[in-house]
Amino acid sequence: MKQNNEWVIEAEHLSYAYDGNEKPALDDLNLKIRRGQKVAFMGGNGSGKSTFFLCLNGIRRPGKGRVLIDGTPIAYTRKGLLDVRRRVGIVFQEPDDQLFSASVYQEISFGILNLGADEETARNKVEQVIRELGISSFQDRPAHALSGGQKKLVAIADILVMDPEVMILDEPAASLDPKHTKIVRKIVEKLTERGITVLMATHDMDYAFGWADEIVLMHEGRVLKKGMPLEVCADRKVLEKTNLEMPAVLRLYEKMKEKGMVSSQGEVPRTMEELERRLL
Amino acid sequence: MILIDKLCYQSGLRYVNAAEKFVYAVLSLVFCIASSSAVVAFLVFLTNGILTVGKGRIPLSHYIKLLLVPAVFLLLGTVAILIEFSRVPMDAFAFQIGRWYLTGSRESLIHVCRLWITALSAVSCLYFLSLNTTMTDILEVLRKMRLPALLIELMMLIYRFIFLLLETASAIMTAQESRLGNRDYRTKIRSFGAMASALFVQSIRRSNALYDALESRCYDGTIRVLSQEQPVKKKEIMWIVLFESLLLLITIWSIIG
């Protein structure tokens, strides 16, 4: 397998329609994602984010177009799909849709066993992931006694145990409390440090602006705009079309620059902390 | 059922090897029923009580409440054996009603007592297992016993999703209640129907989503998982062997005698 391809994911003219729906969920979508990047996917509900994600590991087979992983088109055979799903992991939005076992340990071991690992390797890997994500404090509780945030951590461990190259998180912060949102975000940072490409659907513009290398704005099954956060956020027209607000830090920075409260030298601050440091 | 599930996760015997507990419970159950000896039954009942309440630290009040559930059935079942309508009074007791007697024999009284203690101690074996062993551990033992994988998988999924189903149902019911959905009998019935159909639709959505999630982790038709197992302890095995041997001896003795 090629590993040195610059583009880890390429989608070409992707179209997908659900049975009985007149409007396609994906409509001639084109997108390339660089290896090791942090990409935020934004756009309203029904803009096609989730469907696109499901196409990326072969759960949905596009009606038209194709998906290339590491430069190789997905082969929709048993072996081909196994390979794609090992490389591209999805953490689903609703942990209750993903966790099938009441036991945390069993749950996490599922993915790696499917990759054909022997018992000892699998056990080591499962225990390593449990330690890494701080799951050990609640691993003896049944899934139905876990909080939403704890279930989310288990859902992430489910995928992490399979050592994916690309990790997709579908609105990971949805219905999490601030504490677990923070934990999940820290984990995401760690993933990037390891060289995993992270694709994340989110509605949190402030977070996406600070976190992402690239933001992809989706609208009606197409990519409306893709680019560096600053580039996307400066485009008021597309923001308006997708009902997104400009990041607070950017708005504040521009107003403060106008009034001479911050130095206009250097890069545009991407988080509130960065802005604070720039105050004159 | 939910109560038992909650209690078993807190049991002091939870981390004892599941196979040990399983073997102990099943063997004791078999001896109880096979011997139909009151001594065996009493011994088993007592031991289960001491283990579950003493070692497992299951609150006594809960334990008694749980044992009362089958007791009601037993009561209803044994009344028919014990009491007879007859023109002649029998030796245990007799109440005269006109020319008839509401009466029972000493033999049937003893029979009923033996039935009670046997049934209760048999149930206590099952309670011992379910109050001190988590469902996932029990399933693991069944898997080791080579029960068909399909059956185990089904039980595993049912156990996981029954709680989700209950959660969803209670959320819907709360939402209905807050809109006066159970104002009177008619609306109550209608609300219940609406809830049932909503649950059905949600279950289908959920099962589709689950299938996608499983597939995305390379699901190929069999669910393979690893479990954490507790080590088998020599001392525990010794006690189990000792206790079951005692039961065996009493059983043999009571059959010969």
Structure tokens, B215: 């597939």
Distance between CA atoms of residues A212 and A270, nearest Å: 10
Read off the pLDDT band of B85 (50, 70, 90). Answer: confident
Same domain, A177 and A263: no
Closest alpha carbon within chain B to A157 = B217
Report if residue A28 sits inside a domain. Answer: no
Q: At a CB cut-off of 8 Å and minimum separation 6, what does A255 contact?
A: none
Q: Edge to edge, what strands does the sheet with A26-34 contain? A: A26-34, A7-16, A64-69, A72-73
Structure tokens, B211: 């299938």
Please count the CA atoms within 13 angstroms of the CA of A111 that sit on its side-chain side.
31
- Residues A217 and A233 sit within 8 Å (Cβ to Cβ): no
**Residue B55: what pLDDT?**
93
* Residue from B13, B1, B23 nearest B241 by CA: B23
Strands B93-97 and B100-104: antiparallel
Across chain B, how many H-helices and E-strands are there?
9, 3
**Residue B37: what pLDDT?**
87
Chain A within 8 Å of B165 (Cβ-Cβ)? no
Query: pTM value?
Result: 0.88
Report if residue A196 sits inside a domain. Answer: yes
Same domain, A190 and A275: no
**Residue A2: what pLDDT?**
47
Task: Give tens-digit pLDDT for B7-38.
Answer: 999 999 999 999 999 999 999 999 999 888 89
Same domain, A121 and A233: yes
Cross-chain Cβ contact B216/A100 below 8 Å: no
Helix axis angle, B2-10 relative to B60-82, nearest 10°? 130
Please count the CA atoms within 13 angstroms of the CA of B225 that sit on its side-chain side.
28
Read off the pLDDT band of A3 (50, 70, 90). Answer: low
User: Where on the phi/psi map is residue B16: left (φ > 0), alpha (ψ -120 to 50), or beta?
Assistant: beta
Which stretches does DSSP call E strand in B58-128?
A: 84-86, 93-97, 100-104
Average pLDDT along chain A = 92
**Residue A4: what pLDDT?**
62
Radius of gyration for the alpha carbons in chain B, expressed in angstroms and rounded: 24
Same domain, A231 and A278: no
- Chain A residues at the B interface, defined by Cβ less than 8 Å, are 54, 57, 59, 78, 81-82, 85-86, 89-90, 92, 94, 96-103, 105-107, 109-111, 113-115, 119, 122-123, 126, 140-145, 158-159, 162
Residue B223: its chain A contacts at CB < 8 A? 100-101, 110
Cross-chain Cβ contact B218/A85 below 8 Å: yes
Distance between CA atoms of residues A192 and A176, nearest Å: 21
**Residue B200: what pLDDT?**
94
pLDDT over threshold 70, residue A18: yes
Same domain, A184 and A258: no
Q: What angle do CA A216, A217, A221 make, to 5 degrees?
A: 110
pLDDT over threshold 90, residue B80: no
Distance between CA atoms of residues B227 and A224, nearest Å: 46
Distance between CA atoms of residues A101 and B153, nearest Å: 9
Residue B213: its chain A contacts at CB < 8 A? 90, 92, 97-98, 100
Report if residue A51 sits inside a domain. Answer: yes
Same domain, A131 and A256: no
Same domain, A171 and A203: yes
Neighbours of B95 (CB within 10 A): 11
Distance between CA atoms of residues B126 and B226, nearest Å: 26
Same domain, A236 and A266: no
Same domain, A188 and A155: yes
Report if residue A197 sits inside a domain. Answer: yes
Cross-chain Cβ contact B160/A59 below 8 Å: no
Report if residue A15 sits inside a domain. Answer: no
Cross-chain Cβ contact B136/A101 below 8 Å: yes
**CATH at A165:** 3.40.50.300
Question: Could you tell me how many CB contacts below 8 A there are between chain A and chain B?
Answer: 102
Chain A within 8 Å of B222 (Cβ-Cβ)? no
**Residue B36: what pLDDT?**
81
Name the residue among A96, A109, A115 with its Cβ closest to that of B225: A109
Residue B134: its chain A contacts at CB < 8 A? 102-103, 142
* Residue from A223, A217, A105, A205 nearest A158 by CA: A105
Per DSSP, A165 falls in state S
Query: How far does B249 lie from chain A, in Å, by closest CA?
Result: 39
**Number of structural domains chain A divides into:** 2
Among A96-105, B44-53, B88-97, B121-130, the minimum mean pLDDT is found in B88-97
Task: Give tens-digit pLDDT for B147-193.
Answer: 999 999 999 999 999 999 999 999 999 999 898 888 889 999 999 99
Read off the pLDDT band of B79 (50, 70, 90). Answer: confident
Beta bridge partners of A219: A222
Report if residue A24 sits inside a domain. Answer: no
* Residue from A71, A73, A24 nearest A52 by CA: A24
Structure tokens, B32: 């109880």
pLDDT over threshold 80, residue A129: yes
Same domain, A241 and A251: no
Report if residue A29 sits inside a domain. Answer: no
Name the residue among B167, B210, B227 with its Cβ closest to that of A106: B227
Domain assignment of residue A261, given as a range: 247-280
Chain A within 8 Å of B149 (Cβ-Cβ)? no
Cross-chain Cβ contact A106/B136 below 8 Å: yes
Report if residue A119 sits inside a domain. Answer: yes
Residue A86: its chain B contacts at CB < 8 A? 218
CA distances in angstroms from A47 to A24, A138, A207, B55, listed in the order given: 10, 36, 20, 57
CA distances in angstroms from A137 to A133, A150, A162, A177, B28, listed in the order given: 10, 10, 22, 18, 36
Same domain, A142 and A207: yes
Per DSSP, A262 falls in state B
Cross-chain Cβ contact B226/A98 below 8 Å: no
- Percent of chain A with pLDDT strictly greater than 90: 79
Cross-chain Cβ contact A102/B135 below 8 Å: yes
Mutation target to probe the A interface, by most A beta carbons within 10 A, among B226, B227, B229 is B226
Task: Give tens-digit pLDDT for B114-154.
Answer: 999 999 999 999 999 999 999 999 999 999 999 999 999 99
Among all chains, which residue has been given the structure tokens 């290398």? A213
Chain A within 8 Å of B218 (Cβ-Cβ)? yes
Same domain, A197 and A266: no
